[in-house]
Structure 1
Amino acid sequence: MERRVIVPVIVMLIVGLGIGAGIGYYAAPPKVTEKVVEKTVTVEVQPLKGKTVKIGNIVASTTGLETEKPFVTEILKPDLNDFAKKLGYGVTFDFLIDDAQGQAAIHLEKIQSYKAMGVNLVIGGRWSSQAQAALSYVNENNMLLFSPSSTSPLLAIKGDNLFRMCPNDLVQSPAIAEMLKSWGIKAVIIMQRGDAWADGIYNILEKELPKRGITILDRVRYAAEVTEFSSYLATMEDKAKAAIPKYGKDAVAIEVLSFEEIVTIVTQAKDYPTIYNLFWFGSDGTSMTQRLIDDAPAHANKLKIFSTLAAPAESPKYRELYDRYYALVKQPFGYYTACTYDIAWTLAYAVLQSQSTDPKVIIPLIHPITYNMFGASGWTRLDENGDRYASNYDIWGYGDPDGDGKVDNVLYGLYDGTTGKVTWYTETLAKEGIKVPAIGG
């Protein structure tokens, strides 16, 4: 939307009585009257025309740079700039990509650097620990932080400057609990990162699992910086050995709430035969993790690690972007990548409509824009806390879908957010030689 500026124009009207040479020669000198007429003229003005709007974009860890850079350069920027050009806005969008290196403190430093550069609109806070560490600074310094993947319920705060294009774990945790119940699990060991994200999930699971008749055997919590997990795995091994005679091997499971450290965890888990021969479950943090496929394919295939991930709405828009993305990076176009795409469009719409990059101007536009937008990830409506409304959850895992020895992501089931029930894709499981203990197939 272009701004309209009201410009008063002073028009001088010269009214003369002696026009014409002959008349003027014989007549007395004409009297000239000056009359000032004020006329209102509406002039179209585009304050951002010819300018480049810079948006910060912080990936959570270095691994994310491998796909984020080509995604932004080859898909996101061209799409936005082509749109702005066709509408004649004369605005160019650019994304300043940076890396939090898996650390909340470094993420905050990147936010502060953007502020020093005059960049106040940021896609980031991809891990809840990173979003949490930056939140006070963002609120106090008139910045807008929009996360595609932070899910901690602890950050569901009304009126702050953090928005999240994904549902929070008040929705995901019941999905995890129902996933375990539908598999026939009666007892579970929960292994988790010690951060806001995993703590948030655990706090809800602590209530949801007993409702479903599932006992939490132990909570094994490790510092986010830990790289050696043997002592934790040994504790889990002992707990599992003690539980199996009571509950049965098929009814005991591992629920792991981790990020990329899952590669090290499963690699070291092979030395602990009891837990290594149980089924493992996860969450969005372990879903569609490329490093597992690249660095620990045999372990991923063995453990499956059934993991919940918010499901995008199937649409021509999503499918078209999926095909473009896969052709570019040879990886699936996941839900959180779709959310990144939708955040960029939300910010672009707000900037173009307001002709401003000031968060005080942009923030009031976020809710109406997302309410009326059906993006790559589906309807982007946000709740009163600035978080995405509830959705269905796909259940992903790892396997050998083509039977050629190549491990890949496999879609094993679906949690329906409306009914609260899980459907397992038994034919897919059968191809992997798996039966769901609770349903026998």
Structure 2
Amino acid sequence: MNALYAVLAVAAAGIIPGAGMVHAEIPEVVKIGGIFEYNWAEGAEGAAISEMAVEDFNAYLENIGAGWSLHLSSEDTQSSGSVSLDKVHTFNGAGVKILVGLPFSQYIVQAASYIDRNNMLVISHAAQAENLAIDDTIFRLVPHDGYQAPAIAKMLEDAGIEVLVTVARADTWGDGHVAGVRERFSGVMEPGLRYNTDAQEFSVAVGVLDDVISGLVERHGAEKVGVLYVGNDEFLPIMQAMRFYENVSKVRWFATNTQSFKTYFFEDPVAREFAEATQFTTTRSIVSSDNRVKDALDAKYMEMYNATISTYGYAAYDSIWLLGLTILQTQSTDTETLAGAIPYVASHMLGASGDLTLTEYGDLATAEFEVWQVSDGAWVQVVDE
């Protein structure tokens, strides 16, 4: 028995009274569909960790003599909301009603009505838009961004920023994040760059941004102007485009937790120079440091991939175990039954993310954030004095 399976088996035993019973309503193989963003580092991570979770959960089922197992079939969104929706259609057509993944909020917006009409069930490991906190059968094992916005506002204000420019994705998540910060930031927010998520070339838009920053620096002083980036791995080509402009790096840059601990700030020379010049600073979502499930998963993942895990990776792992334990608890794969039981099971479950208690809308109820900054080629925590 591997260490991680042993830890999770102990954690699960307290909430599963039916171990070893015959489960007439559960098929021998329970099929789950996975829809992941392989072009996003945390998306590929989520897919790999979900497979690990299925393997570990199936070992648990075999040990208790459950008589059934999980099978995960994963598909790539190809960085497209329409492709993601097509995958939802395909899984439903194949009779697969239970899905994990769907990492971006915009993908959920596009698929939500179809999911509802067809009685499907989703647990997302990464979609965080605040406006998705509604009563539906789409659960999110991450806190929505309404929790992060105050942490971002405090990060900005602690840095002495009085005028904020935003650079954000033009989608549900990006727009929602900017709106949330606007509600909570005490300074002035100026329009900056709102870019299409499928954009490949940024030089013209960055030229406009450079002019905006130049004007703000002239009026307010560089030390009072900051830029908040709300996006994913497309920040690397944006930084590549910015190297040809002089004003964008004269002010401090900040970002949401999606940029924390990104390795391209050290692996790419342009990104490294930009991060050092702008004292690049982010929020970082954290989980409990004394979580035995997290510690065991960290050790296994490091051994397999020589890498650390993001908070989205922990959520992906927990998604599989939460689904599996709810199926075991209810002795059913009916999505309506599962949707009704998931909040109860989650409230009694310790996952890699820690306490999995959900809000009334099915989102992770707890959130903690730290502030980290790139300094001398490393991520350094910013501690309040």
Please name the residue that 2:13 is paired with. Answer: none
Q: Aligned pair in 2 of structure 1 residues 164, 67: CA closer, same or farther (>3 Å)?
A: closer
Is the CA contact 2:293–2:350 (under 8 Å) kept in the aligned structure 1? no
Q: Does 1:67 align with 2:45?
A: yes
Please name the residue that 2:138 is paired with. Answer: 162
Is the CA contact 1:53–1:93 (under 8 Å) kept in the aligned structure 2? yes
* CA–CA separation in structure 1 for the residues paired with 2:274 and 2:68: 46
* CA–CA separation in structure 1 for the residues paired with 2:32 and 2:191: 43
Deviation at 1:388, TM superposition (A): 1.2
Matching residue's letter, 1:310 = S
Deviation at 1:397, TM superposition (A): 4.3
Please name the residue that 1:306 is paired with. Answer: 281
Give per-residue Cα distances to partners, 1:285-337, cap 9 Å, x unaligned. Answer: 32333555555552464345322232111122212211221222222111111
Please name the residue that 2:243 is paired with. Answer: 270
Please name the residue that 1:333 is paired with. Answer: 309
Is the CA contact 2:301–2:307 (under 8 Å) kept in the aligned structure 1? yes
Matching residue's letter, 2:59 = D
Matching residue's letter, 1:235 = V
* CA–CA separation in structure 2 for the residues paired with 1:411 and 1:323: 22
Is the CA contact 1:70–1:328 (under 8 Å) kept in the aligned structure 2? no
Matching residue's letter, 2:45 = T
Please name the residue that 2:30 is paired with. Answer: 53
Q: Does 1:349 align with 2:361?
A: no
Give per-residue Cα distances to partners, 1:165-190, cap 9 Å, x unaligned. Answer: 11111111111111111111111110
Q: Aligned pair in 2 of structure 1 residues 293, 357: CA closer, same or farther (>3 Å)?
A: farther
Greater RCO (CA < 8 Å, at least 6 residues apart): 2
* Number of residue pairs the alignment of both structures matches: 364
Give per-residue Cα distances to partners, 1:98-152, cap 9 Å, x unaligned. Answer: 1111111111111111111111111122110111111111111010011111111
Please name the residue that 2:12 is paired with. Answer: none
> Any stretches of 5+ residues in structure 2 without a counterpart?
1-15
Matching residue's letter, 2:298 = Y
Is the CA contact 1:312–1:378 (under 8 Å) kept in the aligned structure 2? yes
Choose from 101, 104, 112 the match for 1:127. Answer: 104
* CA–CA separation in structure 2 for the residues paired with 1:94 and 1:399: 44
Q: Aligned pair in 2 of structure 1 residues 222, 322: CA closer, same or farther (>3 Å)?
A: same
Equivalence map 1:27-426=2 (5 Å): 45-47=22-24, 51-64=28-41, 66-73=44-51, 75-158=52-135, 160-209=136-185, 212=186, 214-290=187-263, 293-295=266-268, 297-299=271-273, 301-302=275-276, 303-314=278-289, 315-400=291-376, 407=377, 410-413=379-382, 423-424=383-384
> Any stretches of 5+ residues in structure 1 without a counterpart?
4-43, 401-406, 414-422, 425-438
Matching residue's letter, 2:95 = G
SS across alignment from 1:169: coil
SS across alignment from 1:142: coil
Deviation at 1:230, TM superposition (A): 1.6
SS across alignment from 1:363: helix
Q: Aligned pair in 2 of structure 1 residues 293, 369: CA closer, same or farther (>3 Å)?
A: farther
Q: Aligned pair in 2 of structure 1 residues 100, 152: CA closer, same or farther (>3 Å)?
A: same
Deviation at 1:60, TM superposition (A): 2.0
Taking structure 2 as the reference length, the TM-score comes to 0.88
Give per-residue Cα distances to partners, 1:166-221, cap 9 Å, x unaligned. Answer: 11111111111111111111111101110000111111222211xx2x21132421
Is the CA contact 1:49–1:89 (under 8 Å) kept in the aligned structure 2? no
Q: Which moved more, 1:224-233 or 1:137-146?
A: 224-233
RMSD between superposed Cα atoms in Å: 2.2
Q: Which moved more, 1:121-130 or 1:286-295?
A: 286-295
Matching residue's letter, 1:313 = S
Give per-residue Cα distances to partners, 1:379-403, cap 9 Å, x unaligned. Answer: 1111111111131113344455xxx
SS across alignment from 1:226: coil
SS across alignment from 1:338: helix
* CA–CA separation in structure 2 for the residues paired with 1:217 and 1:153: 22
Taking structure 1 as the reference length, the TM-score comes to 0.77
Q: Which moved more, 1:321-330 or 1:340-349?
A: 321-330
Matching residue's letter, 1:320 = A
Deviation at 1:50, TM superposition (A): 7.1
SS across alignment from 2:127: coil
Deviation at 1:63, TM superposition (A): 4.1
Matching residue's letter, 2:354 = G
Q: Which moved more, 1:46-55 or 1:289-298?
A: 289-298
* CA–CA separation in structure 2 for the residues paired with 1:190 and 1:297: 19
Please name the residue that 2:5 is paired with. Answer: none
Matching residue's letter, 1:203 = A
Matching residue's letter, 2:94 = M
Is the CA contact 1:48–1:91 (under 8 Å) kept in the aligned structure 2? no
* CA–CA separation in structure 2 for the residues paired with 1:94 and 1:360: 20
SS across alignment from 1:101: coil
